[in-house]
Amino acid sequence: MIEEAIVQALRQEGVEPLTRSSSKYKLKFIISTKDQGGQVHNTKICVRIMSVRDNEVCVEFLKLEGDKTRFVEHYLEFKNKVLDYMNDCVEPTI
């Protein structure tokens, strides 16, 4: 469900995953963006989905190449828009 939401959001932006593992929940893709000067910046990202406990997973975003600031912008876009409705984890308090 999480992987499909990410792939669908990428395809809506015209981005096809570079690799999509069939044995692991792992995607690699490149997002290209232009700055105000028209220069193109590529950010290569890997997303891994790992099981934590029953019915709980961790979604990890890794910057493989590119600018850190642009990576954070892309990460926040996925976190706050694409995956927001799936984030139902509650942090335990001490």
Using a cut of 0.85, tell me whether the model's pTM lies above it. no
Whether residue 43 contacts residue 74, with contact meaning beta carbons closer than 8 Å, is answered with yes
Burial of 24-44, coded b for 16+ CB within 10 Å and e otherwise, reads ebbbbbbbeeeeeeeeeeebe
Q: pLDDT tens-digit profile of 18-77?
A: 877 777 789 999 999 988 888 999 999 999 988 888 878 888 999 999 999 999 999 999
Residue 88 is predicted with a pLDDT of 64
Beta strands in 1-94 (DSSP E): 19-20, 26-34, 40-53, 56-65
Chain center to CA of 52: 18
pLDDT tens digits along 77-86:
998 888 887 7
The yes-or-no verdict on residue 92 having pLDDT over 60 is: no
Q: Say whether pLDDT at 90 is over 60.
A: no
> The domain 2-86: what is its CATH number?
3.30.310.80
Q: Which helix (H) or strand (E) holds 14?
A: none
